Amino acid sequence: MPEVNEVIGGYKLRSLLQTGQVSQVFEVIEPASNRHFAMKILLPEAAEKKDVRANLFHEAEVGTKLRHENVIHILKINRSPQSPHFIMEYFPSGSMRTRLMAKDFAFIKEHAMKVFKQAATGLAYMHASGWVHCDVKPDNMLVNAAGQLKWIDFAISRRIPKGLSKLFYRQPKAQGTPSYMSPEQIRRQAPDPRADIYGLGATYYELMTGRPPFRGNTIQDLLNKQLTEKPLTPQAHNKDVTDEFAALVLKMLSKKREDRPSTCHDVMIAMRKMKVFKTDPDPIDEGGMMM
């Protein structure tokens, strides 16, 4: 197991930020420059598994291609057999899942619109760059104390297929997190930016209400609800949500992707003059937001 103060790939491990099932994330220092970065490194047992290594390297390769203030940037990949890892920018923050688990609804409410706009902006950039995130959820939204957001985790992100490849595309298996998966992801259809819009709608819903649009007794039960059930309005769980924002989120959660907003830029435009909560101050029209 990697340990604090150990040097790996020329970086000194300073503090453990997160531990997952197959990997850990550390704050690290590059001794030569004294600059701080973050390192995602596979746990020893996971490093022996070919598919886990492939997922890590895929995530890293996607991240090196993306440069946007609302998307975490990955700088280096180390394919060492003993300690495969990658280096990314260090962004002191926590995930929105952490805020939800701590029931920090005061922070969520204060920063909701700022976070929602940045989330849509970052995804719009990914889509314009030819990628679908495919795992949009609060866990993958890093937000600092000032409300600045960056998307992370591109392990199952996929290129947007073009031309005839769209017609014949089929995922070997459904990929994503059941509470946020669009119907087309469940059906293993071609990656499409509107799948991310569905996941973003489910994420907005949970951040506004404290619960996802659907719950199930089993994963299959939950997936069936994603395919067939209409979600309750967010106002059923939080009466402070405005009518217009509830309507936008329900549109984002449409079962048919053609019924959702066509792009994240459309979501951004729709939000321009909206309030998330009735008790929010009146919005300021920010004019044309650019990606």
Residue 221 known to be catalytic:
no
**Active-site annotation holder among 51, 104, 135, 285:** 135
The single-letter DSSP state of residue 8 is E
Q: Which residue has the tokens 């790996």?
A: 8
Are 73 and 88 spatial neighbours (Cβ–Cβ below 8 Å)?
Answer: yes
Are 185 and 134 spatial neighbours (Cβ–Cβ below 8 Å)?
Answer: yes
d(CA 31, CA 191): 41
Tokens of 178: 């059941």
How wide is the angle at C-alpha 55 spanned by C-alphas 50 and 61, nearest 5°? 120
User: SS3 for 47?
Assistant: helix
Residue type, 255: K
Helices (H), the chain: 44-47, 50-64, 96-101, 105-128, 165-168, 183-186, 193-209, 219-228, 243-252, 264-271
Helix orientation angle between 264-271 and 243-252, rounded to the nearest 10 degrees: 170
User: SS3 for 94?
Assistant: strand
By annotation, the residues acting in catalysis are: 135
